[in-house]
Every structure is written in structure tokens, then in C-alpha cells.
């Protein structure tokens, strides 16, 4: 999979090799991706919503993951024929695909945006923490304007550490511009709990939102760039990552500073700002913790909260959320005033070739699939038993 994701040879490009395309489309692609065109994407989305999901997080798969050598040798590509080539072959296709993604999204959906897909100009500017170049800025502005008009929130995805600080800069700029409705974000930043620096980074962004009066959109994930990020910047153990994730999630849901997510040192008395939250997690314990906190008196019920898993992964977690939402909707009809979980699936679309780097990360994340098989099997068996009891009118 790694060779297919990074090779420049036509025979290893599924968009140019029909046999390879057929094999991947029927196997890995079908498991994790929404489709290669609008009709396929809509069928996938409709199927998920029929199951009971609130909506989807839809992303255009085009992206670039840099090697260390490529990171060192990046150039601005902002003058002469090379700039025209970047616009024609990199920025324009990315912008067109992302705009189409916003159009494909429906009310209640999110759209994920990955800046690296815009090519060399974007990567150079992000690596060096520069503002977006003129033509790229025009493309981003058009995307954000359409998303705001359609009220489709944009999730600015986290990427490898080499460019993440630049992404954070751009994210805050657009949050200041578009997140002006109290408690409702159009632009979200993504925060990876496996990075040791994340509580500090998020604390600084929350402080900026509090002082400047905008709503901070927060997508919280554990992290997906283990193969690209330097090991020393990542938590030493999984337990440390879990503690960071759960602590940050608790503070966000309650809108309170805590032992993990703290106010910046010089601003200890700063009030917690308005936030909109999307929790991306395959960890059943984390999801259950978040739901319990949401249902507790400490929660700020006015805060937008959605919970998501990747398409093709952690279906036992997703099914529990969908079932809980269905049960609470029934109670809501009888006057129940509690919170109904909002369950989402994250899916990407694009040609099979464009999806290869995304599929590679899914393969890396699934290396421990054998170890998870027992818990997944047990969860599915419990679900079968619960449905059987329900069908006979017995307590679930």
C-alpha cells in the first residue's frame, strides 16, 4: 500500500491501470471511501442517513504527504511558468474538487478541507508560516464563502507537523472572519491529542477566541500521522494520549479550564469562550465518557457537539451512538428534554488514485486489527442479542 500511495509509475497508479483500479475499487476503496463521482457519493450518504446517522463529514481526498527531502527542498513556485503550472495542475483541481464537496454536502453535514491538496504553493507557505499566496487565497475565500452561504461547516484538517503551525495560522484567520455567530462555528480547526503540545496550542487558540469574541470550532482527534511525525513530539504511551484526549474533551463539553486544558499562564482568569465541538474517536470508552459528561449537570448544553468515526472503522462505536440517538428521539417525543447524540461518519471521495494516501493511513491504523477482533466481535454479538430481545418486547 505504501508503494502504491507514493509511486509515480503509471503501472502503479490505479487511475491509469484498469486492472489495479478494479481490484482496489472493489476492496479497500469500497470499505473506506464514498465514491468517485457525485452519483456514487450521494448513494453512500443516503445509505448512511437511512441507517440513522445525523450526517456525514465529507472530504475531497486529494492531498500531498511530504518526505523529509521534499520538505527541505520546497520552493515558493510563485513566479513565471512554474506558478502557472501550479495554478493549472494543483490549485485549480483542488479548489474545484473542494467546491464540489461543499455542493454535495447537505444540511447537517460537514466538509473536511485538506490544504496540502492544493500543492506546492500551499505547502511552501504553510511550512514557512506565510499567508496564502494570492491565487490560493482567492480559492480558499471562494470555498469559505460558499460554505457560509450553505451553512455547511468546514473542518480544516490537521496534517503532518512540518506544516501544522501554518495550518493553525490560517485556521485562526478564517475563524475570526466567519465564526461570528455565538455558539455556531463555520470554520473548525483540528487538534491531535497524541501531540504533547496540543493542550498548549488549543489553550492559546481558546484564549484568542475569548479575547476577540469569536466562536472556536474544535475538531478533536487522537492523531493520524504516526508514520510522518517525529516520535519525540508524540506522547510516550497510549495511556498518555487517552488521558490528554479525555481531559480536553471534558473541558470543551463543560466549557471549563481543567488539569489538562489550561488557560495560558498569563491569562489564568480568562473566561472560557464559546465553542463548537466535533469529537472524532474510535475509542468506545472515550465516547461513553463524553456522552456521560454531556448528560451531567456540569455540561454546557448550549454547546454544539457531534461525534464521528471514519467510514469502514469502529462500526460498533457508531452503532451504539445511532441506537442511543434513536432511543432518545423516542423519549423526546414523549417530552424528554435530554441531549440526542449526533452521530457522523467521516468519508472521503475522489478517484481511486487520489484516495491512496488516505487509504494508506487507514491501513496503518488497522495494523492492530487482529488485537481488536475479540472486542469488536463481542460488541457485535451483544448488539445481536440486544436486537433479538427487543424484537420480542424484552428489556434491552
- Do residues 116 and 163 touch, judged by C-beta distance below 8 A? yes
How far from 365 is each of 129, 239, 316, CA to CA, in Å?
29, 17, 17
Burial 318-337 (b: 16+ CB within 10 A, else e): bbbbbbbbeebeeeeeeeee
Helix (H, G, I), strand (E, B) or coil at 33: strand
What pLDDT, on the 0 to 100 scale, is given for residue 86?
87
Beta-strand ranges (E) seen in the chain are 33-35, 55-60, 110-113, 154-156, 187-192, 216-221, 275-280, 304-310, 343-349
Label residue 369 by pLDDT band (50, 70, 90).
very low
pTM across the whole model:
0.86
What pLDDT, on the 0 to 100 scale, is given for residue 22?
81
H or E stretch at 77? none
* Separation of alpha carbons 79 and 41, rounded Å: 37
Confidence check: pLDDT of 396 > 70? no
Confidence check: pLDDT of 111 > 70? yes
Indicate if the alpha-carbon torsion angle 155, 139, 98, 354 is positive or negative: negative
What pLDDT, on the 0 to 100 scale, is given for residue 253?
97
For the segment 14-25, the average pLDDT, to the nearest whole number, is 79
**Tens digits of per-residue pLDDT, 126-143?**
999 999 999 999 999 999
What pLDDT, on the 0 to 100 scale, is given for residue 370?
43
**Tens digits of per-residue pLDDT, 267-317?**
888 999 999 999 999 999 999 999 999 999 999 999 999 999 998 888 899
Amino acid at each position: 500500500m505504501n508503494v502504491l500511495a507514493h509511486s509515480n509509475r503509471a503501472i502503479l497508479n490505479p487511475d491509469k491501470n484498469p486492472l489495479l483500479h478494479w481490484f482496489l475499487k472493489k476492496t479497500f476503496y469500497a470499505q473506506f471511501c464514498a465514491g468517485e463521482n457525485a452519483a456514487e457519493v450521494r448513494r453512500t450518504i443516503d445509505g448512511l442517513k437511512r441507517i440513522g446517522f445525523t450526517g456525514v463529514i465529507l472530504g475531497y481526498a486529494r492531498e500531498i504527504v511530504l518526505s523529509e527531502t521534499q520538505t527541505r527542498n520546497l520552493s515558493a513556485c510563485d513566479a513565471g511558468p512554474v506558478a502557472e503550472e501550479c495554478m493549472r495542475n494543483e490549485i485549480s483541481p483542488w479548489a474545484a474538487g473542494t467546491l464540489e464537496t461543499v455542493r454535495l454536502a447537505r444540511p447537517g453535514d460537514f466538509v473536511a478541507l485538506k490544504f496540502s491538496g492544493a500543492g506546492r504553493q500551499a505547502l511552501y507557505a504553510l511550512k514557512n508560516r506565510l499567508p496564502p499566496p494570492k491565487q490560493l487565497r482567492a480559492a480558499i475565500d471562494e470555498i469559505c464563502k460558499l460554505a457560509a452561504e450553505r451553512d455547511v461547516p468546514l473542518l480544516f484538517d490537521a496534517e503532518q507537523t512540518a506544516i501544522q503551525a501554518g495550518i493553525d495560522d490560517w485556521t485562526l484567520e478564517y475563524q475570526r472572519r466567519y465564526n461570528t455567530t455565538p455558539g455556531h462555528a463555520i470554520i473548525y480547526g483540528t487538534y491531535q491529542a497524541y501531540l504533547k503540545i496540543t493542550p498548549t496550542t488549543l489553550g492559546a487558540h481558546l484564549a484568542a477566541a475569548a479575547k476577540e469574541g469569536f466562536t472556536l470550532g474544535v475538531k478533536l482527534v487522537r492523531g493520524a500521522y504516526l508514520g510522518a511525525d517525529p516520535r519525540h513530539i508524540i506522547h510516550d504511551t497510549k495511556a498518555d494520549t487517552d488521558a490528554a484526549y479525555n481531559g480536553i474533551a471534558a473541558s470543551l463539553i463543560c466549557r471549563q479550564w481543567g488539569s489538562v486544558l489550561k488557560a495560558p499562564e498569563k491569562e489564568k482568569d480568562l473566561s472560557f469562550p464559546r465553542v463548537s465541538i466535533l469529537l472524532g474517536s474510535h475509542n468506545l470508552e472515550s465516547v461513553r465518557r463524553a456522552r456521560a459528561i454531556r448528560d451531567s449537570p456540569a455540561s454546557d448544553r448550549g454547546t454544539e457537539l457531534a461525534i464521528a468515526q471514519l467510514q469502514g472503522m469502529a462500526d460498533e462505536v457508531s452503532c451504539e451512538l445511532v441506537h442511543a440517538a434513536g432511543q432518545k428521539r423516542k423519549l423526546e417525543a414523549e417530552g424528554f428534554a435530554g441531549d440526542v447524540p449526533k452521530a457522523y461518519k467521516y468519508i472521503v471521495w475522489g478517484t481511486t488514485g487520489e484516495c491512496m494516501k488516505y487509504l494508506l493511513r487507514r491501513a496503518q491504523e488497522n495494523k492492530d486489527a487482529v488485537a481488536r477482533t475479540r472486542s469488536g466481535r463481542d460488541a457485535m454479538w451483544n448488539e445481536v442479542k440486544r436486537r433479538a430481545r427487543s424484537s420480542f418486547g424484552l428489556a434491552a
